Amino acid sequence: MISNQDSAASADATIIVEGLERVYSSGLRAVDGVDLAVAAGEIYGFLGPNGAGKSTTVRILTTLLRPTGGHASVAGFDVVKQASQVRRSIGVALQEAALDPLMTGRELLELQGALHGLRRAESKLRADELLERVDLVAAADRLLNTYSGGMRRRLDLAMALVHRPMVLFLDEPTTGLDPVSRSSLWTELRKLNDEGTTIFLTTQYLEEAEQLADRVGIIDHGKIVAEGTPQELGRLVGEPGLYVKLIEQSESGRARDLLAVHGAVSDREAGGLTIRTSLGARAIAPIVRTLDEAQIEVDAVEVEEPTLDDVFIAVTGHRADEDVTEDAS
């Protein structure tokens, strides 16, 4: 497993997790000896399928659930012994926020400010700032039950930022959002990180982790099975791939046999082929030459770098969108 845990810890880690466990009365081991460290100012992507232990880990780190073993600290505070200090240091946006649908966005933000001990005037000012930040000024005085899914997510984020937290926990923040809303939220998260906020992001979207995360941890069946930068993890897949698109789909079988001398060949949709070869782009010319000599017409040959989807399958044996177990409560 690639791991930068030691380097993160030496850089004054904001989140430190050592041997973390959560075992339920049913015997389910939802979190099974997790170790990780997140440096200050880092975006850490936490990947895994439903039931892998992502949300359980986040609930422990945000003091909503007690671990049954191990140790964790956030912003320098123990999540069990110093839970109140942890809560003052973090912002949290979970998948299902309990928001009153009969309150307006502005009212909810002002209430959140009051709960964090802000004076009335300060709470109003902070609500105005955050409504502008997440582009909800026009909807500020509408009831929440009129908000779209994307608007609710942006309001969730604003509420998590009311008290200017050091660390922001986001549990699958873009699930169910359309591409435009997702992109908008990504932009805001990058801005927050540029301002110094440490972000711990759980997601099932591999593209999201590739776009946002400085480092990624992959959890499966309660254990961290891989960790590193997206580029480092990409190297776990092995040789780069070349995508060969043929003009005639009927020629794919013959092309596959001919190209086997250049590397491992697998079928793709619509007559395309993928070749894994250590030569990478240098293999394009001999591949085209081989097919040309066999009078097989090529539409395109493209270099494909390994994605986190490829990594996930390589280290877990299944796709990220597959359920692996059930989180108990």
Q: Does 18 share its domain with 85?
A: yes
Residue 284 forms part of a structural domain: yes
Q: What is the residue-level pLDDT of the chain in tens, covering all 329 positions?
A: 544 444 444 447 899 999 999 999 998 999 999 999 999 999 999 998 888 899 999 999 999 999 999 999 999 999 999 999 999 999 999 876 667 889 999 999 999 999 999 999 999 999 999 999 999 999 999 999 999 988 998 999 999 999 999 999 998 888 878 888 888 889 999 999 999 999 999 988 888 888 999 999 999 999 999 999 988 887 777 667 888 999 888 898 999 999 999 888 888 877 789 888 878 788 899 999 999 999 999 999 988 777 777 788 778 777 766 666 544 44
Residue 326 forms part of a structural domain: no
State the residue range of the domain holding 258. 239-305
Q: Does 224 share its domain with 243?
A: no
User: In the chain, where does DSSP find H-type helix?
Assistant: 5-10, 54-61, 83-89, 105-115, 120-133, 149-160, 179-194, 206-212, 230-234, 252-259, 284-293, 308-316
Q: Please report, for residues 60, 127, 251, 259, 313, the alpha-carbon distance to residue 325 in angstroms, rounded to integers and kept in the order given.
A: 18, 40, 42, 40, 17
| C-alpha torsion angle, residues 27, 29, 33, 38 (rounded to 10) | -140
68, two tokens: 């049954």
Do the Cβ atoms of 243 and 272 come closer than 8 Å? yes
Residue 106 forms part of a structural domain: no
- Total domains present in the chain: 2
CATH number for the domain that contains residue 180:
3.40.50.300
Q: CB under 8 Å to 84, separation ≥6 — which residues?
A: none
Q: Does 227 share its domain with 266?
A: no
Q: Does 63 share its domain with 179?
A: yes
Q: Does 168 share its domain with 260?
A: no
217 Rama class: left (phi>0) / alpha (psi -120 to 50) / beta: beta
